[in-house]
Homo-oligomer: A and B are copies of this chain.
Amino acid sequence: MKTLYEGKTKDVLTDEATGAVYLLFKDSATGEDGVFDPGANTVGGSVEGKGKIGLKISSYFFELMEKNGIPTHYKGSDIEKGLMEVKKVTVPPLEFVLRYFTAGSMCRRFTLEEGIPFDPPYLEVTLKDDEQGDPLISERLCLMKNLLAPGQYEEALGVLEKVGALLRDEVAKMGYTLIDFKIELGYDEDGKVVVADEITPDIWRIKDENGNIPNQIDCAKMLLEKIG
């Protein structure tokens, strides 16, 4: 196995013999100043078993999406090895963000209270760039930078809304309220869109019935009990 890319919480590997592509889920977690935070751009520490738990949860949600007609990059997973086999797609450095409530950096940036509801949900597209703090990016700049082809921005927002509705309903069944989340999208050689990356508590904020927002480590443990 050859490492193609080393990320903060995942590496991308390839089996040079077969050409198959895998994501290795690592035990590192994003956070800042010793506090775990799925919104942070730095690694805040390591939690034994986090990688496998994240892989298990991702597999659960990718399978759920496929069942519900949302195409993903998921091909299968080997939990023991921490590996998810994925389709070979190009993933532009964009994050597609959906918010059901104001939270986190958005509240700081625009001096808004936490927890103001958005109906319909609030959609944002950001450029993945730690140094620039992941700035919001428009359709026009995505085209100018050749990150997306014409039509793909609107299509992406449509996929984002579908994923949002599915995730919101699923975590609601588990007793939680989805606050916000971000996904990455991939494109195959024909330009067909798939949900890529991971679907774990690293990509969302949820709140319990008391309004408490667990960090991604606690959230993963809670979720694992639900999905078994």
A108 to chain B, nearest CB (A): 7
| Number of identical protomers | 2
Using Cβ atoms and an 8 Å threshold, which residues of chain B touch A129?
111
Interface residues of A (CB under 8 A from B): 108-112, 116, 122, 127, 129, 132, 135-137, 140-141, 144-145
A137 touches B122 (CB 8 A): no
In angstroms, Cα B193 to Cα A58, docked, is 51
A120 to chain B, nearest CB (A): 10
Using Cβ atoms and an 8 Å threshold, which residues of chain B touch A145?
110-112
A160 to chain B, nearest CB (A): 16
Using Cβ atoms and an 8 Å threshold, which residues of chain B touch A127?
110
8 further A-B contacts with Cβ under 8 Å, apart from A110-B127, A110-B141, A116-B144, are A108-B132, A109-B135, A110-B137, A111-B129, A111-B145, A112-B144, A112-B145, A135-B136
In angstroms, Cα B131 to Cα A108, docked, is 10
B111 touches A140 (CB 8 A): no
